Amino acid sequence: MKRITLLCIGLVLLSAAIHAQSFNARPQGTQKPPLHGKHWMAITGKPLAATAGAMTFQKGGNAIDAACAMLAATCTMWDVLSWGGETQALIYNPKTGKVIAINALGVAPTGATPEFYKGKGMQYPPEFGPLAAVTPGTPGGLCTMLAEYGTMSLKDVLAPAMQMAEGYPIEAQTANSIERNKALIKEWPYSKAVFLPHLGKDREAPVAGEVFKQADLLQTLQKMVDAEQQALKKGKSRKEAIYAAYDRFYKGDIAKEFVRGCKEQGGLITEQDLATWKVKIEEPLSVNYKGIEVYKLQQWTQGPAMLQALNILENFDLKAMGYNSAKYIHTLYQSMNLAFADRDFYYGDPAFTPEEPIKGLLSKEYAKARAKEINWERNNAKAAPGDPYPFEGKVNPFADLMKNWNQASLLHEDNTINEKYLADFKMGTTSVEAADKDGWVVSITPSGGWVPACIAGKTGVGMSQRMQSFVLDAKQNPFNVLEPGKRPRVTLTPGMALKNGKPFLSFAVQGGDSQDQDLLQCFLNVVEFGMTIQEAVEAANIVSYQMRSSFGNHDSKAGSVMLNTQTPNYVMKELRQMGYSIGLDERTAGPINAIYFDWEHGTFWGGSSNHGEDYGIGW
């Protein structure tokens, strides 16, 4: 009886402690406590990967070193991505006071044209397999971030990932995903050899806790480290040595085996494709929301859609509406639909023509014009792209395409949110957040090469599936039509915000097309409703399915919205009267990971998602 009493007291105290963290007048209960630290913070999608970040910090690394260690670990653990995927990052450099954007997204290979895929009877590039692959970007992205902004060697940063490749106890989430997808995995010989160690048995995938070994991947990582160490012995600098490892992956024996294995299985990637691909260090895009500078990657991602939505929402008194009231939900939904309709028509790789009207899209005047389009009585099931060109002093060259945009789409009358649609729309990845006492901050949304991945030869590297985010017809989006050498418009979208010139919030989330919906609401939860960062990452969000999915058949479900199961009946009733089709889920916030910067006390607050295995460590 005494033990039970003590346990109950402990639970009450824990609950009180969690609520006591809040500055909000109406605190939100959280399932996880907030993280605190004053030296560093490391948060990502897997406990072992967060530990890799903590180990790197403890060895004296900065936030870039730790973020790269976490990225390497998550790729090795197949945390809904792998080494052949893509890496997108925002980095705050305390030496310059600027936010830097890292574009390590692969490109369409030689021979990848609309005619090629249409000739195979496809409306879009496929979801899986070698023909879904753009060139790998993560190895180059990691090396570039480490070389340019880190302090440690590639050997030290990759050490945790290499130990994992040697063998680590696999967790249930990945093990069960392998088992569910084993029929497809068996189509690719190199994937089958890695993922299915128990062929012929009832369960052919590993079980949770089993030591999962990746000998080919370990050899690939060792080759990169060897290239670095050999360069150092020749007197090269740390930076030059890391780029020697980069070159071995993209131009050396690793590249040759990757291409051989890709082509053997029907893929298109050539050695020239790998050798000519480059990581880009770019200027991010930003808008000011009530004195806070919010940063996103350029329009080759969906990130600017969040910036557009903020511009629209700035015209309304959101706080007065009340958190998740029917009016607030309607305002969010309509604003997001307008911004995402623009995303679906105007976003693409800025390195290719035509030039996207991004200046007009992000102008405050355009946002005011879009805000006036909102119908306050009903959902607009035919929300369409606007015309940002006049806000750049230009005439829209695609006005005719825009007029027929809804008709040219593949909208389905059936608004059923089935398991396949949800899996496509919320296609997972992971997120990496790191910050240190010297002021470096990193926000990464890496992805690609998720299970079921087609592994390229004896490299152990799973190929990306990002090709499916292209369209094959300009009627759907003239800026995102497939072309060799071009980057697809992706959903991957880390976020960062500065206030008074200092880091305010660093945040990212997995979840395909829902990412910027989740991050938008997380930001508003903090800024408008005074939530702590842990409250904000767990709080009930809404998810609109009206924008077009970037995956599979690029479907749209007009008027469909996902609400939290705790949404009051009267709110749902009012939304149904406005034309919404409602689905319910216990957790609707998306697996958000974030860091809030408490400048008053000189500390970090970490928020780690309560969705699955997201985990953070601070000191």
Q: Does 357 sit behind a cis peptide bond, omega within 30 degrees of 0 on the bond before it? A: no
Query: Using CA atoms, how far apart are residues 523 and 531, in angstroms rounded to an integer?
Result: 10
pLDDT reading at 21 higher than 50: no
- How many Cβ atoms from other residues are within 10 Å of residue 56's Cβ? 30
Q: Tell me, what's the pLDDT at 228?
A: 99
Residue appearing with tokens 């089993």: 210
| Overall pTM surpassing 0.85 (yes/no) | yes
Q: Tell me, what's the pLDDT at 510?
A: 87
Q: Which of 23-27, 221-225, 289-293 has the lowest mean pLDDT?
A: 23-27
> What is the mean predicted confidence (pLDDT) over 279-305?
98
Average pLDDT, the chain: 92
pLDDT reading at 345 higher than 90: yes
Q: Tell me the pLDDT tens digit for each residue of 514-527.
A: 999 999 999 999 99
Query: Using CA atoms, how far apart are residues 425 and 220, in angstroms rounded to an integer?
Result: 32
> What is the mean predicted confidence (pLDDT) over 356-364?
98
Q: What angle do CA 157, 57, 46 make, to 5 degrees?
A: 75
pLDDT reading at 77 higher than 50: yes
Alpha helices in 399-460 (DSSP H): 399-403, 405-408, 419-425
Q: Tell me, what's the pLDDT at 428?
A: 66
Q: Tell me, what's the pLDDT at 415?
A: 57
CA atoms within 13 A on the CB side of 470: 32
Q: Tell me the pLDDT tens digit for each residue of 515-572.
A: 999 999 999 999 999 999 999 999 999 999 998 989 988 888 889 999 999 999 999 9
Alpha helices in 446-510 (DSSP H): none
DSSP 138-188: HHHHHHHHHHHH--S-HHHHHHHHHHHHH-EE--HHHHHHHHHTHHHHTTS
Q: Tell me, what's the pLDDT at 552?
A: 86
Q: Tell me the pLDDT tens digit for each residue of 378-435.
A: 999 999 999 999 999 999 999 999 988 875 454 444 556 666 656 655 556 899 999 9
Q: Tell me the pLDDT tens digit for each residue of 153-190.
A: 999 999 999 999 999 999 999 999 999 999 999 999 99
